[in-house]
Structure 1
Amino acid sequence: MKISITRVNISDQEVHEITMKNKHGMEVAFLTLGGIITKILVPDIEGHYENVVLSHTDYRDYLKNPGYFGAIIGRTSGRIKNAQFELNGTIYSLSKNYGENQGHGGFIGFSGRNFQFECSNLNDNASVTLRYLSPHLEEGYPGEVLVEVTYSLNDYNEFAIHYEAIPKADTLINMTNHTYFNLSGSFEESILYHVLMIKAEKFAEVDDTSAPTGELLEVEGTPFDFRYMREIGEDIKERHPQLLIGNGYDHPFLLVPDASPKVRLAHRFSGRVLEIDSTAECVVVYTQNYTDNQHVQCGGILQNRRSVALEFQNLPIGKNGVNMENSIVQGGEKYSAKTVYKFKVEQMNA
């Protein structure tokens, strides 16, 4: 197991890119800026290694990063309707970076912070802990919060993310990672031909601003039924009202608690398979329905639906604090969540 560290200057900001590599040759690379995952190298059925995560060609683009490529998201993930919430009788107004809503932690959020780091390297497991102290009222959230996110890689081709946070006062915390995947290794190829399974009986309805309404809808009989492996693009063009809102999938799926794996993504021709388990309540599936014409590695200028983001988190917060209860963390208590990504190869029928 190897850990290597490279200094990267991004517009006069000193950032470190850290790479973990296991005995099989799988690599995971990420920046201390936002914990942004820039590379996951895994083999295909022929043993060829390619990067299966979306990343910018020019690292200076990560200073804006409108698509949140690879980043840690916090303090909260997803939309907060009207960018405000009431906690302990006080109304907190948040920064509005998604129209009238807040999204993914605000204008900067954790995705734009440069974390401190500490490495640990054992025989069969490498890990790096990223730390950030979020001050009281940063982006409008109450309470100072010490955040630790640990990335680890073992010799079983399992990459894990462990989130921990301890606030000094009652606040909201609901973290995730916003990595986009394309298991073909080429971001010129559409994600719509990947096959996907989500162990979810229900998904969250969203309004026309993509904030949750509070309603949970049955997946059965809808384009949102991924209880069994099927192509992502099979029903994505149907005129379902929820698909029309986001121009595709951009919805939280409520995960079956005891299921394992929770999510399975596969690419037939390369044989690459990704199985994911998580302690999270739901997974937000976003089929990269829009693009800002970013220049990306292994794909030139990014087109729509060249990747899929799988964001494991608690349900986002809607109008009048809908779903907020699962994001409240009391002062002095520890927030903890973990997601494990297991990569493998399988011979599949084309």
Structure 2
Amino acid sequence: MKATNQQMSNGWVETVLENDHGMCLTFLNFGGIVTELVVPDKRGVRENVVLSYADLSHYKENKPYFGALIGPVAGRIKDACFMKNGTRHTLSANDGHHHLHGGGNGLHQQLFSVTLFQHEDRVGAMLTAEEMEMDHYPGKLTTTITYIITNENEWIIDYHATVDEMMPVTLTNHTYFNLTGGVKRSVLNHVIQLESDSFLELDETLAPTGFIRSTAHTPFDFRSEKRIGERIHLTHHQLQVAKNGYDHYFLLDHTKEVKAVVYDEESGRKLEMKTTQPGVVLYTGNSLEDELLLKEGNKIEKHAGLCLETQGHPAALQHKGLSSIWLKPEDVYKHQTIYQFSVE
């Protein structure tokens, strides 16, 4: 097990966490951004399985939110506003008319202090930022988010947050996975199983309508294994509004311990996801088209990666039937997500 910090020329700090079995997580103190996650394939070949920029300077803007921590509120707040105690709070509109992923100075733009720790079977880092004033949110947010790598090839994310005034909080991580290793192929041939029988409907601007739809008899039913590309080009309206793909919040079945499984047949890599969060956004990189280069030298292309963004949903601010995302000063926000890698 090994944990190291390295000062970079631009003032950022790069941290590397490595277990005893060839799994290695690299991230920045800027935005908690994961820049590399190396795991072996079925032949023992160690390769990067997340989307990463070739040039680290591109993380400053990072429009796709590669690898970044997201908050205070992950997802879109419709019309960039919400009501609190009868008062309307207006946020910045950074996605059309909507407020996306905490606005221009969300967690993805924060510098965290990093504290390393090491135990016999795990190694980790605590990323802390205190009393952050963000956008036009009421109150200040303090977070400690812990990244852990275990000898069971788990990447564990522990989220801990407090506020000094009641405000909406739901945090996530926006890493794009591609289990082929080195982004050899798109994720369309990845097989996924997702324990969810309902999802949130989106309008034409990708904002939630508030309607919860059944996954049954739709291209959104992943309760049995399906290839991601198997139904992605169907003329289902919800696929079309998301630019021929998935960008939807799935409400998870918490009677099942493993909430999602993703598998790449050729490499043999399998990813299992567990979480305490009420749901997950499955995003299949529908808007990923850019001249910027990935670490492996490839151009960024549509469906190059997929995200499993575990979170509550900001639609709860405006619609009933969803888990509340309000956090009070006397309460503590605590959630955990585990991504575990193996081979078959």
TM-score (norm: length of structure 2): 0.96
Q: Distance in 2 between matches of 1:290 and 1:213?
A: 21
| Cα deviation, residue 315, structure 1 | 2.1
Unaligned segments of structure 1, at least 5 residues: none
Give the equivalent residue in structure 2 for 1:237. 233
| Cα deviation, residue 185, structure 1 | 0.6
1:211 and 1:316 in contact (8 A); partners too: no
Task: Indicate whether 1:157 and 2:153 are aligned.
Answer: yes
Amino acid at match of 2:224: Y
Q: Distance in 1 between matches of 2:69 and 2:14?
A: 15
Q: Distance in 1 between matches of 2:297 and 2:214?
A: 36
| Cα deviation, residue 90, structure 1 | 2.0
Amino acid at match of 2:159: Y
Relative to 1, partners in 2 of residues 1:322 and 1:34: Cα closer, same or farther, differing over 3 Å? farther
Amino acid at match of 2:190: H
Give the equivalent residue in structure 2 for 1:2. 2
Pairs within 5 Å for 1:1-350:
1-10=1-10, 14-136=11-133, 138-247=134-243, 248-293=245-290, 294-317=292-315, 320=318, 326-346=324-344
The Cα offsets for residues 54-106 of structure 1, whole Å up to 9 and x where unpaired, read as 01110000000000000000000010000000112221111110011000010
| Cα deviation, residue 261, structure 1 | 0.8
Q: Distance in 1 between matches of 2:65 and 2:131?
A: 19
| Cα deviation, residue 134, structure 1 | 4.1
The Cα offsets for residues 187-246 of structure 1, whole Å up to 9 and x where unpaired, read as 241110000010000011011111111111111110001001110000000000100101
| Cα deviation, residue 186, structure 1 | 2.9
Amino acid at match of 1:52: V
Identity %: 37
| Cα deviation, residue 256, structure 1 | 0.3
Q: Distance in 2 between matches of 1:324 and 1:170?
A: 18
| Cα deviation, residue 319, structure 1 | 7.8
1:144 and 1:167 in contact (8 A); partners too: yes
RMSD between aligned residues: 1.4
Amino acid at match of 1:40: L
Q: Distance in 2 between matches of 1:67 and 1:23?
A: 32
Q: Distance in 2 between matches of 1:169 and 1:163?
A: 19
2:288 and 2:304 in contact (8 A); partners too: no
Deviates most, 326-335 or 265-274: 326-335
Deviates most, 179-188 or 272-281: 179-188
The Cα offsets for residues 142-201 of structure 1, whole Å up to 9 and x where unpaired, read as 111211100001111111001110101100100000000000013241110000010000
1:93 and 1:140 in contact (8 A); partners too: yes
Q: Distance in 1 between matches of 2:104 and 2:177?
A: 24
Q: Distance in 1 between matches of 2:75 and 2:47?
A: 29
Unaligned segments of structure 2, at least 5 residues: none
Q: Distance in 2 between matches of 1:44 and 1:279?
A: 28
Q: Distance in 1 between matches of 2:329 and 2:88?
A: 17
Amino acid at match of 1:313: Q
The Cα offsets for residues 234-282 of structure 1, whole Å up to 9 and x where unpaired, read as 0000000100101111000110012121000000011000000000111
Q: Distance in 1 between matches of 2:42 and 2:286?
A: 29
Q: Distance in 2 between matches of 1:332 and 1:144?
A: 14
Q: Distance in 2 between matches of 1:234 and 1:114?
A: 40
